[in-house]
């Protein structure tokens, strides 16, 4: 697979900052990158981009000079989304960066639903999407077994019930695999609901339920090195489905980001779906 067809997800690659990640992406021939504008874990970001107009300008200029795109941004959490004014600031930043979408997650049970009542997810998503539409953004629901939106069907129901024309579903290969998604279920999904597919791999045996979050954030494998049926997933989805490489690999965490990205590029080059 050619890197110029794929963008880099920020997880596991953004610890040196957005400019370093852009330089690494350009050096290895990727199409672009994604960036965090808010923490899905509800933590303080190492580098705050929202409100930092100088940094936003630097990111956009660096990306444009290298011929790269800022593809996606992360991450809102339903029930813990900020007020409308802050949402507009976040979406305005995403727009200024040139991004076309932002991810949105369910809450982690240990943290709780925040200020959201039971069954309110579609309404919350519709409100978020209405504001995002002012900036030309899609909102992608990403399901994870360790969050309240755990499966593809959970995500599909919320997206459809929201009625928002810019609501989509993000397919993370790891979360698809760990949730037991079958290829028949993927084939039955309306492709118009798909935002993009995040590529990675994983061992066949799932970790204990309380270790799923650790696997997702730090212990993935490179594409083609595990048991996820990535090639079949890619064949099922339309040819124009955007692809993103998400590779938080603990064994590589000590390496400079350029080397981590280079290893991702090498894995993609060896992977033939």
- Dump pLDDT digits (tens) for 144-174: 999 999 999 999 999 999 999 999 999 999 9
Predicted confidence (pLDDT) per residue in 188-235, tens digit: 999 999 999 999 999 999 999 999 999 999 999 999 999 999 999 999
* Alpha carbon 41 to its chain's center: 13
250-262 mean pLDDT: 97
pLDDT band at 53 (very low <50, low <70, confident <90, very high): very high
CATH code of 261's domain: 3.20.20.150
Share of the chain above pLDDT 90, in %: 99
Report helix, strand or coil for 159.
helix
Joined tokens for residue 37: 């504008």
103-109 mean pLDDT: 97
What's residue 273's pLDDT?
84
Q: Supply angle C-alpha 209, 210, 211, rounded to 5.
A: 90
d(CA 218, CA 241): 25
Domain count for the chain: 1
What's residue 229's pLDDT?
98
Give me the domain span that covers residue 97: 3-270
Task: Please state whether the predicted TM-score (pTM) of the whole model is above 0.85.
Answer: yes
**Which parts of the chain are beta strand (E)?**
6-8, 32-36, 69-77, 101-105, 138-142, 167-172, 194-199, 243-245
Report helix, strand or coil for 170.
strand
| pLDDT of 246 higher than 90 | yes
Q: What is the mean pLDDT of the chain?
A: 98
């Amino acid at each position: 697979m050619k890197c110029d067809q794929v963008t880099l997800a920020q997880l596991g690659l953004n610890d040196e900052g957005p400019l370093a990640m852009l330089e690494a992406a350009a050096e290895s021939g990727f199409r672009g990158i994604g960036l965090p504008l808010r923490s899905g874990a509800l933590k303080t970001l190492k580098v705050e981009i929202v409100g930092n107009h100088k940094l936003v300008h630097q990111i956009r200029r660096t990306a444009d000079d290298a011929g790269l795109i800022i593809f996606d941004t992360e991450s809102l959490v339903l029930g813990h989304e900020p007020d409308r004014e802050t949402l507009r600031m976040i979406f305005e930043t995403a727009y200024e960066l040139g991004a076309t979408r932002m991810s949105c997650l369910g809450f982690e049970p240990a943290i709780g639903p925040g200020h959201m009542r039971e069954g309110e997810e579609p309404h919350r998503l519709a409100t978020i999407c209405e504001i995002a539409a002012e900036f030309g953004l899609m909102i992608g629901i990403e399901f994870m077994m360790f969050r309240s939106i755990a499966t593809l069907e959970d995500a599909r129901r919320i997206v459809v019930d929201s009625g928002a024309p810019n609501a989509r579903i993000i397919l993370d290969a790891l979360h698809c695999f760990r949730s037991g998604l079958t290829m028949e279920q993927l084939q039955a999904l309306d492709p118009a609901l798909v935002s993009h597919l995040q590529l990675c791999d994983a061992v066949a045996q799932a970790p204990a339920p309380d270790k799923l979050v650790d696997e997702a954030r730090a212990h993935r494998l490179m594409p083609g090195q595990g048991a996820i049926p990535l090639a079949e997933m890619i064949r099922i989805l339309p040819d124009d489905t955007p692809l993103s490489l998400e590779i938080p690999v603990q064994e590589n965490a000590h390496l400079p980001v350029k080397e981590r990205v280079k290893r991702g590029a090498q894995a993609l080059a060896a992977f033939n779906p």
